[in-house]
Amino acid sequence: MTGSGRVGGGGGSWERGGRSAAPGLRGEPREASALQPGGEEPCTSFIPEAQEVLDLVDQCPAQVQKGRFPVIVIEGLDATGKTTVTQSVSDSLKAVLLKSPPSCISQWRKIFDDEPTIIRRAFYSLGNYIVASEIAKESTKSPVVVDRYWHSTATYAIATEVSGGLQHLPPIHHPIYQWPRDLLKPDLILLLTVSPEERMQRIEGRGMEKTREEAELETNSIFRQKVEVCYQRMENPGCHVVDASPSREKVLQMVLSVIQNNCNYL
C-alpha cells in the first residue's frame, strides 16, 4: 500500500474510487510475475464471465443521481445480524432491498473469489457501480436499503494489502478512506458490531460453510482487527456504529432510531 490512494493487489492496483477498477478485468495479469513485459493477458480470455460483468458496467450511466428517497447501507462482518437487520429495516421502511454485488452478477462470486486479489477486488468494485445504477432508479420511487456497498470493498482491500499490524494502516483522514467521487453516495451507513466471542458463537450455531473472507477473519485476528479499524476510519460518509448484541427487536429499534435522526424519515 502506498500513499497514492490505491487499493488492489496482485502487483497491479486499481485506483481507489473509480471505474478504473475495470482494468483488473480487462487486461491485468493473473499473477504478479506476469507484469513483466509481454506477460499481460486479458482477463476475459480465461474468465468468460468477466466480459459479461464489463458489459453490464458499460451499460451503466457514467454519472447517476440519487432520487428523493433515502438510501441506507448496512455493513458488518458475517454473523453480526446484517442479513436479518437489512430485511427487517427494508420491511419497516417499505424499501427496496439491494445487495452488492448485485443479483445480476452474484452467481459468479465463487468464480472471482478463487482468482488473484487484483481480479477479485475489481469484480467487487465494479459490482458497486452496477448496484449504484439500481439505487439511482429505485430511490426515485421508494427508500432503498443496501446490504453492503463500497465500504466493504475498500476495508477488505486495505486490510489485505497492508501487511503487518494495525500500526501499518494508512492514518486517519488518509484519502484512501474517502468515498469515491464518481460513485453514488448513500444518505446513511450503519455498521453492525458484536464482540469477537459472540460472533464466533453465532457462526458455530449456524453450522454453515464459511466464506473465504470468514475463514480469514476467524484464523487471523489481526486481519479482522484491520477490517474493523478501516470501517471506523471511513469518511464522507462515515459509519454509524450500532451494537448488534441485543435482541433482534432491540437492534431494529436502534437502527430505525438512527435512520429517523439522520435521514429525517419515518
Joined grid coordinates for residue 98: 439491494
Within a domain: residue 64?
yes
Q: How far apart are CA 4 and CA 142, in angstroms?
A: 38
Q: How far apart are CA 107 and CA 109, in angstroms?
A: 6
Phi, psi of 6 (to 5 degrees): -115, 150
The model's pLDDT over 83-121, given as tens digits with 9 standing for 90+, comes to 899 999 999 999 999 999 999 999 999 999 888 888 888
- CB contact at 8 A, 188 and 237: yes
Within a domain: residue 132?
yes
**Number of independent structural domains in the chain:** 1
Within a domain: residue 8?
no
The model's pLDDT over 11-33, given as tens digits with 9 standing for 90+, comes to 333 334 455 455 556 554 333 32
CATH number for the domain that contains residue 101: 3.40.50.300
pTM above 0.75, yes or no: yes
Within a domain: residue 9?
no
Q: Which domain holds residue 57?
A: 45-261
Within a domain: residue 35?
no
Within a domain: residue 234?
yes
pLDDT at res. 75 = 96
**pLDDT classification of 43: cutoffs 50, 70, 90:** confident
Q: How far apart are CA 7 and CA 154, in angstroms?
A: 7
- Tell me, rounded to whole angstroms, the distance of Cα 88 from its chain centroid: 20
DSSP letter, residue 210: P
Within a domain: residue 231?
yes
Within a domain: residue 6?
no
Nearest CA to 43 among 1, 53, 13?
Answer: 53
